[in-house]
A and B are shown apart, each in its own frame.
Chain A
Amino acid sequence: MNDNRKFLIQGFFVLVGLIFIIRLFMLQVVDKNYKAMADSNVIQRVDEFPYRGLMFDRNGELLVINNPVFDLMVTPLEVNKLDTAFFCELVKIDRETFDTKMKEAKEYSRLKPSVFIKQLPLEEFARIQDYLVDFPGFFINARSVRSYPHNVMSHGLGYLAEIDRQRLDRDTTKYYKKADYVGMSGLEYSYEDVLRGKRGVKFKLVNVRGVDKGSFKQGEFDTLPFPGDNIQTTLDLELQVYAEKLMEGKIGSIVALEPGTGEILSMVSAPTYDPNLLSGRAFGNNYMDLLNDSLKPLFNRPIMADVYPPGSIFKMFQGLVAMEEGVITPDTRIFCNRGIIACHGSHTNEDLAGAIKHSCNPYFHQVFRLIVNQNESSNTYKDTEIGLEKWRNHMLSFGLGQPLGVDLPNEKAGRLPGPGLYNRIYGEGRWRFSTIYSLSIGQGELGVSPMQMANLAAILANRGYYYTPHMVKGIGEDNFVPEEFTTPHYTTVSAEHYETVIDAMWRVVNEDGGTGFRARIEGVEVCGKTGTSQNPRGEDHSVFIAFAPRENPKIAVSVYVENSGQGARAAASIAGLVIEKYLKREVTRKNIEEYALANHFIY
């Protein structure tokens, strides 16, 4: 039987060989079609680039546009009888540059075009265009680059750059090709998929020397490029321009939200940079300059600076959690003993609202102790652990200690310590309230990003819930907004507790002796709270969060100015001006404006 099989196997091999030989005979000798297709012409596919979607502000002002640029291309093989001297003069390069560029092009390919001069400006293009017919082998390739008419909002909008190796490898859809431009940060990155559109492809016939012979089958298989969707952002351009002006010469950030929707009205990261620097011919040099700048202008502080201690603005939230836990009522008075923890101003025995207004440290030291040590366990160490975990869960519901889910890349989580962290630092059962009491006044291991602070202000404005802050108001023609931005997140503190705290914030700004007086605006009921957050590396940071008006709030703001001393000075005045600008569209309190712009906050 096996002898039989031996022959069967050999027969099978021979059969397959025969099939191949016959099939090849049909393909190569009998069928003349393939020869015809190859002999005269070959098909080349050429990519057609789509128009990238534009971006508008909330009132329809253009923020990002596409600017046509013109690359001067060269196909070395087609260059002949070149008057090099005249050509160099025309395109304004010297002979040496010409030689190196030509050599590079030849090394890449003599047959395929390569870029000779990148991104000629429009005037340059207009000037040389007419002469180009006399220079065979040279031609113009038009494409577009991003341009920003208002020079603002660089961090939020982001920039484009050539796709890198890792991103190409990660692209499972196989859409991208080498040298494609993709969004690298900001909205350009987050909404790359909708902005980019879809590349078209054109099949053209070229002969074997690569010379164009028209389109293949009258363009039957060509696809048109599909332009990207436009995006309407939530930004208010006028407010943004003003806010960036206020932050000139400072380090820090401003975030303004619309509490009712979570829309980001303005977001400033200072120092900032001109977004046009990262578009166009000088991208490489400008990028390196920005990267090496000691003030880190590329760092998007509102969402990435998550080690900022919140300072006194945290007191409202301690109060809210304490009321929810039932360990204090609005009327609870605590004696300001100034023993363990220092205080300021003249007050002695305040209730909750008074303690917030005077920013009484001993009050919240005591409040935090009441939250954390509720005698759930007779062991004080164990008790603190239970209490801190409970406290942490409340704070998590305020959006702390986790990225909020903002539609911008690289959002950081912030730092919200819990039992886990202290167990790691001190060991289990080796820490108690006296170890962690700095948390009570927003210092210690806490870290909150300016975006999270603005969100806290929005929570207060909404009396207990927030929408994830976001920057898109509508994508494409049907104004689509992702669902995650239209679902409210409720905090664990019930709405009835908020009014006490809001009343205190109103008093901070509007009562005599309140630290927020620089944010006081005629005819607008602003509620706010200052913070002066201690910082081991220099002057205190100036912090302020606020919302306005008190009823039906339209704007919630956080301002964080590094190393500028008291919150009452830099942050409060800037926040007030931002609110005034947004609600009244113009600023009449010129003295405050001058004060904020002058930059002398330490005195």
Chain B
Amino acid sequence: MRREAKITGKIDWLIIFIYAALVMMGWLNIYAAVYDPENFKSIFDLETDSGKQLLWIGTSVILIIFIMVMDFRFWDSFSIILYGAIILMLLGVLIFGREVNGAKAWFEVGSFRLQPAEFSKFITALVLARFLQRSDKKVGEFKNLSIIAMIIGAPLFLIFLQPDPGTALVFAAFFIVLYREGLTPVPFILGLSSGVLFILTLIVPQIYMVIGAIILAIIVISLGQKSWQRFIGVIGTLAFVLIIIFSVDYLMNESTILKPHHKNRVMVLVDPNIDPLGVGWNVTQSKIAIGSGGFFGKGFLDGTQTKFNFVPAQSTDFIFCTIGEEHGWFGSFVLVGLFITLLLRVVYIAERQKSRFARIYGYSVASILFMHFALNIAMTIGLFPVIGIPLPFFSYGGSSLWAFTILLFLLIKIDSHRLDVFGR
């Protein structure tokens, strides 16, 4: 009884406040994105994205109530079953899914669509947390690492096959979690530097890159102390670098893993001016919309660029354009501020957990939200190739709003039990 009475007192209201603010702002901006001054439709009109989003928000509230009253241990115990189910769904969507924009990512029943990849993220987080819950499981051990790789790799691989490289990339978020749990940052650094090398090779001609890498290797070898280990290390690094340099050519020209529009998006990032009206169209229009916002923006519903369909996917992946245009730098600042506050708060919550299960889950929440936030904004302002991933709580879409709501509120629920004596 005592516990029941106190439950609301232990809920982290700051997070809920930020959540509510983001969802409401998102809803208003979705309305602004689809608003047509010549063809007035109410924000509640169920034919518009904003009206439908309100439905998703309403159902999300129901989901929240469920999560808060349900015993949170359910999620722990059933995580494996959920995981199995989501893997089956990801397999199923490859076979029965409806192809939209070249990717088989959606189940379609009548007018209702579901994107299983969205739900795979929090489920993977749960399973990962459960696997590592005993504090003697060292992340660095080979056996554990391979199991972790399988847990993360299975959904990642299936999503990659859709192909939805954007959502697949979000799974890199788990590096942050594993890093916190003691994984060496080497793979992360390797991954990051490969990315940098990749982009660099697109800008600088291949032959210069090769010569540069070899000269650099010779300098490093000749400068330091002469030892065999050191020599082999440098040569190994050089080989790795060369492989990346040569693979760029293959990936961009020969291979079919990257579809032409993926390749174009990478090329535009390197030089946005190569084709401002062709493949660069999305980014150009997005930047014009955001850039024209000024300091305080043009005002709610007064945007011009985000009307007329200049910017693609205005209410989903490019929703940030509407904020940028109508609310200017100030609005963007508030949005970025809210997200960073949310992320820091989630990390704070994760750190105050007693159980390793809860902490890992908390870090997963922070990392997944971070990846979505960072990649989405970076894409709209031309810092990252255009990949279709939504801005959490903000973008139009039932699957993503539900999935992010579950992701966040599971943490809030778990956190509200942090002082339980028997705990987990």
Contact = CB atoms under 8 A, between A and B. Distances in A.
Interface in A25-62: 25, 27-29, 31, 33-35, 37-39, 42-45
A67 B347 CA distance: 69
A270 to B, nearest CB: 41
A5 to B, nearest CB: 5
A37 B36 CA distance: 21
Contact of B182 (A2, A35, A201, A203): A2
B291 A35 contact: yes
Contact of A38 (B39, B180, B305): B305
Contacts of A97: none
B277 A43 contact: yes
Most A Cβ at <10 Å: residue of B179, B292, B381: B292
A12 B287 CA distance: 25
Interface string A105-121: 00101110000000000
Given A16-B374, A24-B381, A42 B39 contact: no
Contact of B333 (A2, A13, A24, A110): A24
Contact of A17 (B288, B292, B340): B340
A169 interface: yes
A17 B38 contact: no
A3 to B, nearest CB: 9
B370 interface: yes
Contacts of A107: 39
A24 B288 contact: no
A29 B294 contact: yes
A70 B324 CA distance: 42
Interface in A462-515: none
B231 interface: no
Given A28-B328, A42-B304, A17 B287 contact: no
A19 B277 CA distance: 27
Which DSSP category, helix, strand, loop or mixed, fits chain B's interface? Answer: helix
B343 interface: yes
A24 B339 CA distance: 15
A27 to B, nearest CB: 5
Nearest to A210: B308
B383 interface: yes
Contacts of A37: 288, 291-292
Given A20-B336, A20-B377, A24-B333, A45 B304 contact: no
B340 A14 contact: yes
A21 interface: yes
Contacts of B310: 42-43
A344 interface: no
Contacts of A28: 290-291, 293-295, 324, 328-329, 332
Interface in B313-331: 324, 328-329
Contacts of B381: 20, 23-24, 27
A17 B336 contact: yes
Contacts of A17: 336-337, 339-340
A25 B294 CA distance: 9
Nearest to B176: A9
Contact of A9 (B180, B261, B329, B378): B180
Nearest to A7: B347
Nearest to B181: A2
B12 interface: no
A39 B288 CA distance: 10
A2 B304 CA distance: 49
A378 interface: no
Most B Cβ at <10 Å: residue of A2, A17, A39: A17
Contacts of B324: 24, 28
B329 A14 contact: no
A2 B180 contact: yes
B71 interface: no
Interface string B33-49: 00010110000000000
B344 interface: yes
A181 B329 CA distance: 45
A486 B46 CA distance: 60
Nearest to B292: A38
B249 interface: no
Contacts of B287: 27, 34
B294 A5 contact: no
Contacts of B205: none
A591 interface: no
B99 interface: yes
A557 B310 CA distance: 58
A39 B333 contact: no
B330 to A, nearest CB: 9
A520 to B, nearest CB: 60
B394 to A, nearest CB: 14
A17 to B, nearest CB: 4
A225 to B, nearest CB: 16
Nearest to A13: B343
A379 interface: no
Given A9-B180, A29-B295, A221 B99 contact: no
Given A28-B329, A38-B291, A13 B340 contact: yes
A147 B84 CA distance: 59
A13 to B, nearest CB: 5
A174 B340 CA distance: 39
20 contacts: A5-B180, A6-B347, A13-B347, A16-B370, A17-B336, A20-B377, A20-B378, A24-B333, A27-B290, A27-B381, A28-B293, A28-B295, A28-B324, A28-B329, A34-B287, A35-B291, A38-B291, A109-B36, A203-B277, A208-B304
Name the 3 nearest CB pairs between A and B, nearest first.
A34-B291, A38-B292, A110-B38
Interface of A: 1-2, 5-6, 9-10, 12-14, 16-17, 19-21, 23-25, 27-29, 31, 33-35, 37-39, 42-45, 77, 107, 109-111, 169, 172, 174, 201, 203, 208, 210, 216, 221
